[in-house]
Amino acid sequence: MTAPVRIDHATPGSPAAVFLDRDGVVVTNHPAYLRRVADVELLPGVGPALRRLNAAGRALVLVTNQAVVGKHLITLEQALDIHRHITDTLTREGVMLTASYLCPHVAADGCPCRKPEPGMLTSAIRDLSLDPARSTMIGDACTDVEAGRRAGVEAMLVLTGRGRDEVTRLRAPATVVEDLPGAVSALVDRWSVTA
């Protein structure tokens, strides 16, 4: 068992973070896995939504399970190429990510970084000196919500990606929103009230 693959992008400016699942939240989810750079497509409104989080001073951390590697459908290097393409695309959209964590394992590996385990989030909290009580996890699956809960982080479930199916299985407390722009609007509105 190994630690998640960490990719640094920028120095965090704040101990408050938004953790983002990748497939189904930031980019289109593919039922047979995202296997090629050519298949990468940002979901509508993602660039402007993430720029709002940057403007609000939040650290942005992508945390993604990529069992496509553990199932030997693509190599880790191919997965990292796809991931770099996504992060480069976000950079071109004016988005500044703080870091990314990628777990290449399958569930049978028992890896502590594979969501619903909180390892990617707790690694980021430790590595980047983040405050879980001031942070939020946004995902499209119950495993994202559970990883957030186990890391002591608020969770939001979006209905994009797998979210419409997953919402019926939701057991842990989570705010349910339509999509990433809706999640960001809800967060920014709340922060403006408490500021």
CB 62 within 8 A of CB 87: yes
Q: Which of 23, 140, 144, 179 does the annotation list as catalytic?
A: 23
Q: Where are the domains of the chain?
A: 5-194
Per-residue pLDDT tens over the stretch 145-166? 999 999 999 999 999 999 999 9
pTM of the model: 0.93
Per-residue pLDDT tens over the stretch 14-49? 799 999 999 999 999 998 999 999 999 999 999 999
Q: Is 61 exposed, middle or buried (0-12, 13-18, 19+ CB in 10 A)?
A: buried
21 is catalytic: yes
* H or E element, residue 87: helix 76-92
Least Cα distance to 30 among 68, 86, 72, 62 occurs for 68
Q: Which of 21, 140, 144, 179 does the annotation list as catalytic?
A: 21
Report the CATH architecture of 5-194. Answer: 3-Layer(aba) Sandwich (3.40)
* CA torsion through residues 108, 109, 110, 111, sign: negative
